[in-house]
Amino acid sequence: MQDATPASTLARLLERVLSEPNARSVEEVLRWLREAPLDPTGPASARTTRLAEVAAAIDAHPRADRLRAKLGEIWRHPSAVRLLAETGLPGRGTLVSEVIDRLVDRVVPRLHPDDDLFVMFSHLALTESDARWVETLSDEAVAPWRDLLAPTPGQVADAARLVACRAAAAGITRELLELEHPRPDGESPFLGLPGAVERMVTDPAGTDALERYRETVARCRVAIRTADRLLEQRGVSTDLLYRLELLDSLLTRLDGLTRVLTDEVAPGAVAAELVRGSSRQRGIRSLARHTAKRLALKVTEHTAETGEHYLVRDRAEWEMTSRSAAGGGVLTAGTALLKYLIAALPLAPVLHGVAAALNYSASFIAMQFAHFTLASKQPAMTGAALAATLDDREHLEEQVELVAGITRSQMAATLGNVLATIPAAALVVALFRLLGGETPLPADTAIHSLHAVHPFLSLTVPYAMLTGGFLWLASLAAGWAANWSAFRGLPEALARHRRVRSVVGADRARRLGNLVERHFSGIVGYLALGILLGFVPVAFDRFLGIPLEVRHVTLQAASLTLAAGSLYGTEAFHWGEVAWGGLAIVLIAAANLGVSFFLALRTAARARDLAPSDWRRLTAALRAAFRKDPRRFLWRPRRPAAGA
């Protein structure tokens, strides 16, 4: 049963501190304090008033001196060093291990000692609002607690030593040392950090020790910035990005602790940061947000570099894109036929999925090496290329022209794919009839294919939108592969690898490196796309019982032609169903292109923290330009005027 009044509740909690002097009893007092509302903040807040009530209750207590002594013992427990050194800072050296630790801690209880102050902070589930409240506290509100709760200089010094050792260990990992090659490993500034901190905490008033410490920290920060710049140039790693963020946080904490030792700030100045850090320490999303954003930025940059090749700026590029897409369309006709042949084989579900994925991947990779174009691959690439230009707010007309080049490219590639795959598939039907007297598809399969693609009597449009999402995921895979290859220096590493050179020769090793540089990301992207289009639907349908299909514009155009050609001349053939299928192809194209382009643009824009105002500005300019000249966005560019 709860006490009737806040005063009696507080009295009971203070008696518990006397009888059970540990962090758990103090935790109950702090919970009672946090129950008071924060709005409005500052001196008028109910929580600030309650804080003053706690101080007054301690002063009025019959055993006030003993109560203050007990509170001081609790706050000066040896675990205060851990509280100062680790609160708010990740405990693991890699992002994955830290995320796993936090996930496990959320669902699996862990036994902790009753007197651990670090654990007490984590149990309170503090928030950013609590940190802001601590920051707004006046000197008058803090005064009763300053001497009672301040850590000892020795505890602050030990915490600084611990943070320095952690920073040194994180700063001399092999991956970071190799970034600044050819600098000798022994010259890393992080090696000297623990010694500089030790000299400074031993003699905080010593000018020489303080200057040496500050110089060492400055060199460490320069090393972090240099590593960060090198990563931007060559490619990023989630572990390295995480480690750089950890190093920056460790140096910031170290700076706060050393400023307390040198009396530049009062001990209470780090309280708000400890509260804020405790709120961050429980979060998983906040832990990975910045690292993921940096990785997404680098991936979309690599994707955007590829996307630059998918822009139609003039008539020559329109013709080149159309011819390249026509080759892709012809190849897709064979892919569609193999899709039906594989589906008819008596294979286990896993083998069906693997065979379908291999069919798609082999076809797409063949397009990569033949320099053919798959229309629906383009939007995810060009979306990243567009987002890369939105940082420049001054050249709006160039951004509008880039969008026009993107949409022209989509139109040229889609028309080239579809207008080539339809006659190619019709030729396949004709060859089957001529050579074997049979059609490529049985009548029931052909009828099902026509009915399944109806734009309104089936899930064709949602499936096409899902396929657009798959295309976007494949583009991310391609961008990730390009980033990974750049980070490892894979092309040059292969060209120089001793075993590779001994097996294939120096010239072939060099050509292999060039081949990887040109095609590695494309191969990975197409492998991912093949798995998503071929294996994932089988896995959902056969293993999970969830009907899932894909609708890819070029594959569907070829499939429609094979089905209609197989039924042509029979009673099951109806021009109306073919017409509905043709409309479905148009809708599939719009869904494939629109969804993949939107997702790619959104991902790239979020990675760059683009403001909503940039979107509104660009959208208004695009609407005006489209109303003025729709042809600019949908058809090949006009020839330049003579003499222009």
The CA-based angle 268-269-273, given to 5 degrees, is 105
Give mean pLDDT, residues 316-321.
Answer: 86
- The DSSP code sequence of 117-132 is HHHHHHHTT--HHHHH
Most confident of 230-239, 264-273, 312-321, 578-587: 578-587
Output b/e per residue, 613-631; b: 16+ Cβ within 10 A. Answer: ebeeebeeebeebbeeeee
Asked whether residue 141 is assigned to any structural domain, the reply reads no
Give mean pLDDT, residues 181-197.
Answer: 84
State the average pLDDT for the chain.
Answer: 82
pLDDT digits (tens, 9 = 90+) for 422-476: 999 999 999 998 887 888 999 999 999 999 999 998 999 999 999 999 988 888 7
Task: Say which residue the tokens 């003499």 belong to.
Answer: 643
Give mean pLDDT, residues 31-35.
Answer: 87
- Mark whether 406 and 273 lie in a shared domain: no
Confidence bin at 404 (pLDDT 50/70/90):
confident
Q: In the predicted model, is pLDDT for residue 561 greater than 90? A: yes
> What was the pLDDT predicted at 111?
65
Give mean pLDDT, residues 222-229.
Answer: 85
Closest CA to 633 of 439, 412, 473: 412
Q: Give the end-to-end CA distance of the chain in Å, rounded to a whole number.
A: 90
- Mark whether 272 and 334 lie in a shared domain: no
Distance CA 271, CA 130 (A): 11
- Mark whether 275 and 312 lie in a shared domain: no
Around Cβ 315, how many Cβ atoms within 10 Å?
Answer: 13
Asked whether residue 406 is assigned to any structural domain, the reply reads yes
Around Cβ 300, how many Cβ atoms within 10 Å?
Answer: 30
> What was the pLDDT predicted at 563?
94
- Mark whether 214 and 317 lie in a shared domain: no
Residue 358 exposure: Cα atoms within 13 Å on the Cβ side: 8
Asked whether residue 329 is assigned to any structural domain, the reply reads yes
Distance CA 545, CA 548 (A): 9
Report CA dihedral (628, 631, 634, 639) to the nearest 10 degrees. Answer: -130
- Mark whether 188 and 332 lie in a shared domain: no
- Mark whether 172 and 314 lie in a shared domain: no
- Residues shown for the chain: 644
Distance CA 421, CA 355 (A): 22
Distance CA 152, CA 201 (A): 13
Give mean pLDDT, residues 301-321.
Answer: 67
- Mark whether 216 and 361 lie in a shared domain: no
> What was the pLDDT predicted at 640?
56
End-of-domain residue from the set 283, 313, 338: 283
Distance CA 303, CA 235 (A): 12
Distance CA 560, CA 577 (A): 10
Residue 626 exposure: Cα atoms within 13 Å on the Cβ side: 13
Amino acid at 423: P
End-of-domain residue from the set 283, 311, 333: 283
Indicate the pTM of the whole model: 0.69
132, 168, 175 from 239: Cα distances, Å: 31, 17, 9
Give mean pLDDT, residues 121-125.
Answer: 79
Q: In the predicted model, is pLDDT for residue 3 greater than 50? A: no
Distance CA 607, CA 299 (A): 10
Higher pLDDT residue, 550 or 148?
550
- Mark whether 237 and 310 lie in a shared domain: no
- Mark whether 262 and 314 lie in a shared domain: no
- Mark whether 438 and 484 lie in a shared domain: yes
Confidence bin at 551 (pLDDT 50/70/90):
very high
Asked whether residue 119 is assigned to any structural domain, the reply reads no
Do 476 and 299 contact (CB within 8 A), yes or no?
Answer: yes
Asked whether residue 92 is assigned to any structural domain, the reply reads yes
22, 31, 160 from 79: Cα distances, Å: 11, 20, 14
Closest CA to 375 of 413, 405, 408, 336: 413
The CA-based angle 76-128-125, given to 5 degrees, is 60
Lowest-confidence segment of 7-11, 180-184, 228-232 by average pLDDT: 180-184
- Mark whether 259 and 381 lie in a shared domain: no
- The DSSP code sequence of 591-619 is HHHHHHHHHHHHHHHHHTT--HHHHHHHH
Give mean pLDDT, residues 331-342.
Answer: 94
> What was the pLDDT predicted at 292?
58
Residues near 165 by beta carbon (within 8 Å), at least 6 away in sequence: 194
Around Cβ 491, how many Cβ atoms within 10 Å?
Answer: 19
Q: What is the sign of the dihedral through the CA atoms of 403, 405, 409 and 411?
A: positive
Asked whether residue 69 is assigned to any structural domain, the reply reads no
Asked whether residue 292 is assigned to any structural domain, the reply reads no
Higher pLDDT residue, 397 or 60?
60
Task: Say which residue the tokens 């120089």 belong to.
Answer: 496
Closest CA to 460 of 556, 603, 336: 556
Query: What letter does residue 307 receive in the DSSP assignment?
Result: H
186, 407, 636, 639 from 643: Cα distances, Å: 65, 28, 20, 11
Task: Say which residue the tokens 């969804």 belong to.
Answer: 595
> What was the pLDDT predicted at 1?
39
Q: In the predicted model, is pLDDT for residue 411 greater than 60? A: yes
Give mean pLDDT, residues 627-639.
Answer: 81
**Phi-psi sector, 126: left (phi>0), alpha (psi -120 to 50), beta:** beta
Distance CA 531, CA 533 (A): 6
> What was the pLDDT predicted at 426?
94
- Number of structural domains (the chain) is 2
Q: In the predicted model, is pLDDT for residue 560 greater than 90? A: yes
End-of-domain residue from the set 248, 283, 318: 283
Task: Say which residue the tokens 């500089």 belong to.
Answer: 196
- Mark whether 212 and 312 lie in a shared domain: no
pLDDT digits (tens, 9 = 90+) for 464-511: 999 999 988 888 788 778 778 877 788 888 888 888 898 888 899 899
Q: What is the 3-state secondary structure of 139-184?
A: HHHHHHHHHHHCCCHHHHHHHHHHHHHHHHHHHCCHHHHHHCCCCC
SS3 content of the chain, % helix, strand, coil (to 5): 80, 0, 20
Amino acid at 527: L
Give mean pLDDT, residues 345-356.
Answer: 92
Q: In the predicted model, is pLDDT for residue 51 greater than 60? A: yes
Distance CA 531, CA 537 (A): 9
Structural domain harbouring 207: 80-110+151-283
Closest CA to 339 of 365, 364, 357: 357
> What was the pLDDT predicted at 14?
86
CA-based R_g, the chain, Å: 33
Closest CA to 463 of 382, 540, 393, 576: 540
- The DSSP code sequence of 538-571 is HIIIIIS--------HHHHHHHHHHHHHHHTTST
pLDDT digits (tens, 9 = 90+) for 364-373: 999 989 888 8
Closest CA to 28 of 90, 86, 71, 87: 71
414, 425, 553 from 419: Cα distances, Å: 8, 10, 11
Distance CA 588, CA 557 (A): 10
Amino acid at 380: A
Distance CA 332, CA 322 (A): 15
Around Cβ 228, how many Cβ atoms within 10 Å?
Answer: 17
Task: Say which residue the tokens 């920073």 belong to.
Answer: 167
Higher pLDDT residue, 587 or 387?
587
Distance CA 224, CA 245 (A): 9
Asked whether residue 439 is assigned to any structural domain, the reply reads yes
